[in-house]
Structure 1
């Protein structure tokens, strides 16, 4: 199936400093593609190149099956909505009036305004001046503007930035509903793993301008190494016993138990027999996966949220 977004060797350099290097994105149709990376990794620069706001130093971009070139940029953007950094608006005008201006600029019918206001749940505040909106309402208005004309592709750059927990939840629910209800493909950037984990179907991880992982979310989770967490009536004695038996065991750093670095049935069974034979009681035995934060740390060598 043809990708909605494809980039080949996409590169952006400012002077001698590379910001994005040889990027090869593949965004499947109907997906929520989480574009993940620390602050300063090159996410916003990439998204601006995809929209033609910044000219690449090298490489090519294909959106909706067409190359992003100066001569067909407007044609591509007619089927693309975006919310990059913070939303723009006229504070002295109402939400409806702001959206009417956007309709004129995008050359789309104003009949879609009621629909996008309903999608972002602003229909009851549509006549209120935007300068009196909360940050979350302004973000939703920005999303409504991006949705005008029902684009096939939506690009959202850190859409939950600055929102309170309830605003984050609202924005997340809105984004998750778009592919199923309206057939849109969404590219959403974030530096927060927890956000991407709750929204995305596919993930691309960028670090220092380089794409270091790209696949579906399930494949990212498969990178996690499963292990068995074990608590006993005598963890110290259990550790020495299992170590002597050459089982892959380690003590947890916080002293809360042991980790058996294998989930093979034979290994777990042998561990149980050894402990039982020495009359060491097993209080807890549970399989644990490496968290997304730990996977990210392994891939990038830095903290997951900076």
Structure 2
């Protein structure tokens, strides 16, 4: 499926500073697109521009094949659900009553309520006052509200922020079920790289307002250079032996490692060490984490 969200040179400046700088998003239909970056990188501003909440300084936005303008904005956004920052609610009303108000605002029939409550697994809590909800339940109610009207696109800004591990797991499972079960394309922004690693099919990485990577998650991992760590009876002697034999070994943080390479070359390295009287105790393959990749792309630690 082709892209359902396309931006060209999308930019937002406040005074002279570009908080979003010439970004070209390509978000495939049916994907979970992880929009990654540290706090303050421009993620929320980008999502607000997609929703028409912030006016771009320059650039174009296309959603579902149509360029957004003042005439068609509402029609296009009627097929888009969103959960930006903390969900708004009336604490003295029940979850169902809050959703009834949103149905009125969206001009959506109230029979939709039970459908979205089932998706977010909140049928049993619908009559409880929202002021009595946990943070995780409030986030799920916000997601239910975003799903009213059966949108084709869902924009989520840090939906697991502040949740405990159980709440994060629950929200992750809900989000992962949406494309396959309901045909919804999800754009999810986060600074929690490990979370995106477990949810996304595609990734865009933004840093200081600039898009520095965009492709599938598999391509991102293929670009990361994994390593093979060796634990031997004498690691330093093994390191010297491998280097002297022209095998690209590295000594890093007190550990001996090799770049991932063909099996035949790994077998040669192991045989070389064994024949030199050095015992192989353990071989451990380790891919770079998404955090490591981000550090490699940006040259700085992620600000969590």
- TM-score, normalising length: structure 1: 0.97
Where do 4+ consecutive residues of structure 1 move more than 4 Å? Answer: none
Partner of 2:220: 220
Residue 270 of structure 1 is matched in structure 2 by 268
Map of 1:282 onto structure 2: 280
Query: Is residue 224 of structure 2 the alignment partner of residue 210 of structure 1?
Result: no
Deviation at 1:77, TM superposition (A): 1.3
Matched, 1:300 2:298: yes
Partner of 2:59: 59
Contact 1:248/1:262 (<8 A) preserved:
no
Taking the aligned partners of 2:150 and 2:220, their CA distance within structure 1 comes to: 31
CA RMSD of aligned residues (A): 1.1
Tell me, yes or no, if the aligned pair for 1:193 and 1:305 is still in contact at 8 Å: no
Q: Distance in 1 between matches of 2:134 and 2:260?
A: 50
Residue 189 of structure 1 aligns to a residue whose secondary structure is strand
1:263–1:287 Cα contact (<8 Å) kept: no
* Worse overlay, 5-14 or 117-126: 117-126
| Alignment gaps of 5+ in structure 1 | none
What secondary structure does 1:187 align onto? strand
Report the equivalent of 1:236: 236
Please state how far the C-alpha of 1:288 moved relative to its aligned partner.
2.3
* Alpha-carbon displacement from aligned partner over 1:78-132 (angstroms, at most 9, x marks no partner): 1010000000011111111111110010011111001111111111111111111
- Unpaired runs of 5+ residues, structure 2, are none
1:81-230 matches, within 5 Å, as 81-230=81-230
**Counterpart-to-counterpart distance in 1, 2:133 and 2:210:** 38
8 Å contact kept, 1:193–1:304? no
* In structure 1, C-alpha distance between the alignment counterparts of 2:130 and 2:286, rounded to whole Å: 47
Deviations, residues 141-187 of structure 1 (Å, cap 9, x unaligned): 10010000110000000000000111111100100011111110000
Conserved 8 A contact 1:192-1:304: no
Question: More deviation in 91-100 or 258-267?
Answer: 258-267
Work out the CA distance in 2 between the residues paired with 1:211 and 1:91.
38
Shift of the alpha carbon at 1:227? 2.2
- Stretch deviating more after TM superposition (44-53 or 228-237): 228-237
How far does residue 243 in structure 1 lie from its aligned partner after superposition? Answer: 1.7
Matches of 1:66 and 1:269, distance apart in 2: 55
Q: Which whole-Å CA distance do the structure 2 matches of 1:262 and 1:198 have between them?
A: 23
